[in-house]
Structure 1
Amino acid sequence: MQSQDVAQRPAPSSPAGPVVDVEQAEAALVEHYPRLVRLAYLVLPPGLGRSRRVVTAHALTQRALPRNRTPAPVIPAQSTGRDGDPGYALVRLQVLRTALEAGLPLRRRAWPKRSQLPPLLPQVWGLKLFPRSGGADELALDQRLSTLSGPARAAYALRGLERLADDGVREALTAAGVADADGALLEADGVPAQYGLLDSPEFDPCSLQARPTDLMRRRQHLKAALAAGAALLVCGALLGLPGEGWGPDGAAAPPYARNPAAQAALDPAKLTRVDPAAWQSSARTDFSVWPTRGDLTGDTALLRRALAVWARPGERVQVSATPGTLSGGPAGPPQLLYAGTVDAARVVILYDGLRIARYAEPKDGTQGAALDFARVDGAGRAEASAVVLGRADGNVRYLTAPWVSKAGERDLLKPGSGAMNLALTDGVTAPLASPALRSGPCTSWNVLQLADGRRTRLLSDLGELVPARLTSGRPGSPGEASGAKALRTWQPYACSLGTVRSAGVRSVNAWAFNEQPLPDASEARWGSPRPQGGGGSAAWVCTRAETWRGGGARVLAQFHTPGARYGAVAAKAENVPACGARDPHVLTGVLWKSEAGDWYLLAAGSRETASIRATGGVSGSARSSVLTVPAEQGARAELKGTLRDGRSLGGLR
């Protein structure tokens, strides 16, 4: 997204100002270091994760010193103590430029910029560092900023932190290499001007919390490293033995010997082709019973190229794989699911029992060929319902399972609008809008609706080969998200699906685990006012994204008040059992401001929660699954709960 707005080449130099000594720049950096780090943190892409953004923001700021005397850009530094300081203007421009560069995608034919690589220093081993969580308003603002492009976040931060007028923001962005500064300002206008919130601890990478990294994973990595070291020593010893091991008299085949299984995997004639009616009598309903479809299934040259690229992708082939997916060649002849023309490309879809591989090349040649992988082991009828054939012009086309009888397109943000029918031609859908290709504010989230005669399912494109299945209900026994009640549950949280793009997600479940009456409130601070009269109730929903690899599940606890269009993230975590089939319980809370201007700590647990206690900056308790306690703005509290069976429950982090 940033690559469209930030110039890939060095930005044109701005009009030269006073010459700045290194000492002068260092003095400005040291004096205003917290502000510069906060600016870098706000501009860096949210996809890095809070811990890496913190470390990267410090690294970029510490590298902002010039190597020698440098002309300062004529860009205002409008704040007390910084007004007219050329040293501050110089280091701020360098921080802004490198933070924008860090969001650019890596290019295959160009060396990465230093700011695009993980920082060597500072490094903290064994700990995750991230800013302290703010109140409800800060969380809502953070969610809105995450939908902006890098230049737009930079524009918002320069307005809010630096108090620059739009002309000053435009000059700063242009000097930092932004090609469309006016577009960035226009995009930033879409976020409410809550600039005072930028000074809160939520966006302060100098005031941090520390938590351990994944202890089990660290232990596993240590064991793997020791095993690899031992294997290296053994292999080195074998290489030194005459006539043994890898020498000419060893067990290895001669250099030019060919493996029959590997050769068979490259032969188009040996591809597995399934009969169109096989699925109707098979005990399995997964990708293994998909028939071979497409208008190019007899193009031997195309199939040979697809198999050869899978086994040995060239340097010019763009290869991608979902997390946890191996990209090596097939062990034997794979199954051919599709070979045909899709828009302006020739596409081949192959399946080897564990992975889906998609090969695509332009109609007029092989330049720009792409190879994509997705892990699909253990897929059942629901998960094996569709595969992405191609994306173009903001739309996506799917190849659907043979048991799919009807397809439609539905906007999750409009649950009452119904689904628009999609034409199916030999299992291929008409194009539908893809939320994975959209940039800018989230105003719609279109999903694929499929009916197979038994159930109606919803699938969302998250930028991968296999769309994610959407469900709703209590973990362990969720239902499809296509029902009226499930659609209403999903409506405020649809845009949060953007946080799990390209993460290897298999399914996402939304579970409304509680409701809570709002104290003396006739307006929610998250969005539009709701109708007057009565306090109303807020909804607590937990969304959990499960991955194909098993680990790496992402959990969001979200809070939604009446009249608000979107839910707000109250807590998020990764690799935790909360809201899952193994442990469906959850406890979380937010600071909320009523229409009367009073602040409250609102907390809720799943309905099996017998009591909740808040300690720290806010003290209170309740013998129920919800807690409402008066609080002060910016207060922090620790939450502890007790389940009905006596087990303790900690707050989600």
Structure 2
Amino acid sequence: MSTYSRPRPPADRSRHHVERAEAALIGHYARLVRLAYLTLPPALGRHRRVLAAHGTVQRSLRGVRRGRREPALPAQRGEPSSDYAWVRLRVLRGALAEGTRTGWWPPRLPARHALPLRLPAVLGLRLFPRAGGAGELALDQALSEVRPEVRAAFALLLLDGLPSEAVRAELAQADGRDPGGAVRAAERLRSAHEDAGALLRSEEFDPCTVHTRPTDLIRRRRRARFAAMTGALAVLTCTALAVTSGPPDQGRTAAPVAGPGSAVVDPARLVRAGHGGWADSARVDFTVWPARGSRAGDRALLGRALGAWASPAGDVTVSAASGTTAVPPSAPARLLYAGEADGDAVVLLHDGQRLARYTEPGPDGGGRALDLARADDADVTSAAAVALTRGGGSVRYLTAPWIATAATRDLLDPDAPARALEVAADGVTPAVPRPMAGGGCGESWPALQLRSSRRIVERHSFLVTDLGDLSPVHLTYTPPPGRGAPARQPREATSGPALVSWARSVCLLRGMRDTGVRAVNDWAFAEQDLPEEAGRAVWTCTRVDTWRGPGDILVRFRPPARALTAPGTVVARRADTAACGRFGQHMVAQARWQAPSGRWYVLAAGSRAVTRIETAGSVRETSAGTTLAVPAGREAPVTASGLTRDGDTLRALGTG
């Protein structure tokens, strides 16, 4: 006879009925889902993150049975009940465990964690919370850069109003890593954002109030066709095998083969978006451009354009931007424009990844032309305009349907006001000047200033400039770090300081024509008082992002100059680097500088997170803060490095 007896639960465990737990979950469902949404990894994407948050809460009671003894938590000050705190702990465990996933499979965790093994199924729709303003966007960016425990602590502090000690205890019971450090990081995050509590309670972070949009309909049709073709191929294969394995005297019939490219050259198969769909879409890019132009119904012209893309004849000159393939489209393309511009017939097409511009000259023109350029992952700014024609030092654009106004301005004259343009009803601009195509910078650098419609965003103006590709280049600006301010993010280059900065930077773009550039950001990452009271210098990193993905940087030292457009000295160049971008936000640079007295110095400066700079070599010096200036001979070997607040060492870019 067995003498084993089940041990009794500890005295601090009490019976926790399922009905009470379910009542707490339902009564505070929105609150729990918001906590899970904030804790879950932003890398999931907004759609999967919304579903994962609801799934985490809905299955937080999985494994709880009637009459089973479960741990009970005492009610925290200001909380509705211990039942809610108990459910919240299970939700928190599940959300934190989701952050440890690697790959597609759920993590292997103890049964008490009750991690959801599946998500609510939503087919054919994408879900996402309503967009907030600039404050919500900055907070979302800051939260995406910290670990899940910090996001959880931030939510518990601001949403549930728990004191720091209670949050630390809750994270420890949820098996979170370094609860104390997470609480301290959350406190710093709260102090860095004004009205953080109100921002966190906004619709930007509410997974219960969501917009719905369809998934990529073109991709769904492609997948459906692929599935049908796969099924038909399987049937034909089985039939062929059955015929082959039959008696030798049986006849064999060859399977029919479809003509290649028949769908992609048929004008009737062109995809056309509705004229007002862009205002109700979560994806504001080329996929919501309606078909415009006086010849959008000219099937003969459209057929010639599709034929030139699918199988260009000898009289068609094909050119592809850097990193762009010239292969035919794999499915019917989308028609964006077909009309007359400067005496030429122009057709603009989009296949989901690339733009294609077909040009058919008038009677006095030359041969036909097809220009291709990448346009994948375009957005409200990089899909805002396309060059229809170029010639004679000017360019004519087709603007996106969400562009409300357009103007031109000279980037080399930041004080001059922008000049408004009269854009036609179909979105075509007049011929406007473009930057000089030669090696020089010229006396002016024209740019296009666009403003989006209030139907998608309020007061959103931005700058683009022509560098020879189909899409103009988006110009942005990141201001110098403010005293005690959080890390700055790139913003539109339309303010006074941004225009002054670009006046000294825009001539650097003249060597980037026809290289597939998507966007350029001018980042003033440090300011420095020069020795001998020689004024204040600015350190700038100009980052060039391409449609291919890699980015190049130019680091400059800009001492005070009489000329407003003086670019300063380029001290470093790097290709295919993450520096000065979203994934390389910390940097140190150094330069050699001669004071008005004739004395030479080694100068170094770091971005906001740098706390100390030191030099090695013939001169050894240490300076607390983000800048350093040390006398050194013109040829003395000196290298600088910086230390960040996180303990990382950054080697300085530039010449010592």
TM-score by length of 2: 0.56
Superposed CA offset, 1:246-285 (max 9, x none): xxx999977x7413xx211101122122232222333332
Aligned identity (percent) is: 44
Answer whether contact 2:289 2:401 (CA < 8 A) is retained. Answer: yes
**Distance in 2 separating the partners of 1:546 and 1:578:** 11
**Distance in 2 separating the partners of 1:591 and 1:293:** 55
Q: Give the Å deviation of 1:539.
A: 0.5
Task: Give the 5 Å matches for 1:496-515.
Answer: 496-515=508-527
For residue 543 of structure 2, what is the aligned residue in structure 1? 544
Q: Give the Å deviation of 1:607.
A: 2.3
For residue 526 of structure 1, what is the aligned residue in structure 2? none
Q: Give the Å deviation of 1:571.
A: 0.7
Name which of structure 1's ranges 473-482 and 376-385 shifts more when overlaid on structure 2.
473-482
Answer whether contact 1:436 1:462 (CA < 8 A) is retained. Answer: no
For residue 470 of structure 1, what is the aligned residue in structure 2? 475
For residue 492 of structure 2, what is the aligned residue in structure 1? 480
Answer whether contact 2:614 2:622 (CA < 8 A) is retained. Answer: yes
AA matched with 1:459? V
Q: Secondary structure at the match of 2:309?
A: helix
AA matched with 1:601? V
AA matched with 1:644? R
Unaligned runs of 5+ in 1: 1-242, 521-533
Distance 1:436 1:328, change over 3 A: farther
**Distance in 1 separating the partners of 2:292 and 2:462:** 23
AA matched with 2:310? A
**Distance in 2 separating the partners of 1:250 and 1:651:** 73
Q: Secondary structure at the match of 2:293?
A: coil
Answer whether contact 1:476 1:581 (CA < 8 A) is retained. Answer: no
Unaligned runs of 5+ in 2: 1-242, 245-250, 480-486
> How many corresponding residue pairs?
390
Q: Secondary structure at the match of 2:304?
A: helix
Superposed CA offset, 1:45-101 (max 9, x none): xxxxxxxxxxxxxxxxxxxxxxxxxxxxxxxxxxxxxxxxxxxxxxxxxxxxxxxxx
Task: Give the 5 Å matches for 1:387-466.
Answer: 387-425=386-424, 426-435=426-435, 437-452=437-452, 453=454, 454=458, 455-466=460-471
For residue 80 of structure 2, what is the aligned residue in structure 1? none
Answer whether contact 1:610 1:624 (CA < 8 A) is retained. Answer: yes
**Distance in 2 separating the partners of 1:250 and 1:622:** 86
For residue 580 of structure 2, what is the aligned residue in structure 1? 579
Distance 1:575 1:275, change over 3 A: same
Superposed CA offset, 1:309-337 (max 9, x none): 11112344332222222211111211111
Distance 1:488 1:440, change over 3 A: closer
Distance 1:252 1:519, change over 3 A: farther
Distance 1:250 1:477, change over 3 A: farther
For residue 598 of structure 1, what is the aligned residue in structure 2? 599
Q: Does 1:363 align with 2:359?
A: no
Superposed CA offset, 1:588-626 (max 9, x none): 111111222111111111122112222235543322211
**Distance in 2 separating the partners of 1:462 and 1:266:** 31
For residue 629 of structure 1, what is the aligned residue in structure 2? 630
Q: Give the Å deviation of 1:365.
A: 7.1
Distance 1:618 1:344, change over 3 A: farther
Task: Give the 5 Å matches for 1:149-228.
Answer: none
For residue 557 of structure 1, what is the aligned residue in structure 2? 555
Task: Give the 5 Å matches for 1:238-249.
Answer: none
What RMSD in Å do the two structures reach over aligned CA positions?
2.6
Superposed CA offset, 1:518-554 (max 9, x none): 222xxxxxxxxxxxxx42101111111122222x201
TM-score by length of 1: 0.56
**Distance in 1 separating the partners of 2:326 and 2:252:** 29
Superposed CA offset, 1:166-217 (max 9, x none): xxxxxxxxxxxxxxxxxxxxxxxxxxxxxxxxxxxxxxxxxxxxxxxxxxxx
**Distance in 2 separating the partners of 1:266 and 1:461:** 31
Answer whether contact 1:473 1:512 (CA < 8 A) is retained. Answer: yes
For residue 116 of structure 2, what is the aligned residue in structure 1? none
Superposed CA offset, 1:124-164 (max 9, x none): xxxxxxxxxxxxxxxxxxxxxxxxxxxxxxxxxxxxxxxxx
AA matched with 1:631? A
Superposed CA offset, 1:457-499 (max 9, x none): 1011111011111111278831111122222222211111223
Task: Give the 5 Å matches for 1:7-18.
Answer: none
AA matched with 1:554? D
**Distance in 2 separating the partners of 1:509 and 1:253:** 56
Distance 1:639 1:319, change over 3 A: farther
Larger Rg: 1 or 2?
A: 2
Distance 1:296 1:283, change over 3 A: same
Q: Does 1:608 align with 2:609?
A: yes
**Distance in 2 separating the partners of 1:250 and 1:536:** 89
**Distance in 2 separating the partners of 1:350 and 1:476:** 37
Answer whether contact 1:506 1:546 (CA < 8 A) is retained. Answer: yes
Answer whether contact 1:618 1:637 (CA < 8 A) is retained. Answer: yes
**Distance in 1 separating the partners of 2:255 and 2:573:** 52
Q: Secondary structure at the match of 1:396?
A: strand
Greater RCO structure (CA 8 Å; 6+ sep): 1
Q: Give the Å deviation of 1:436.
A: 5.7
AA matched with 1:562? P
Q: Does 1:381 align with 2:393?
A: no
**Distance in 1 separating the partners of 2:290 and 2:436:** 28
Answer whether contact 2:603 2:628 (CA < 8 A) is retained. Answer: yes
**Distance in 1 separating the partners of 2:421 and 2:365:** 31
Answer whether contact 2:571 2:653 (CA < 8 A) is retained. Answer: no
**Distance in 2 separating the partners of 1:319 and 1:596:** 58
AA matched with 1:429? T
Distance 1:308 1:250, change over 3 A: farther
Q: Secondary structure at the match of 1:428?
A: coil
AA matched with 2:634? Q
For residue 324 of structure 2, what is the aligned residue in structure 1? 325
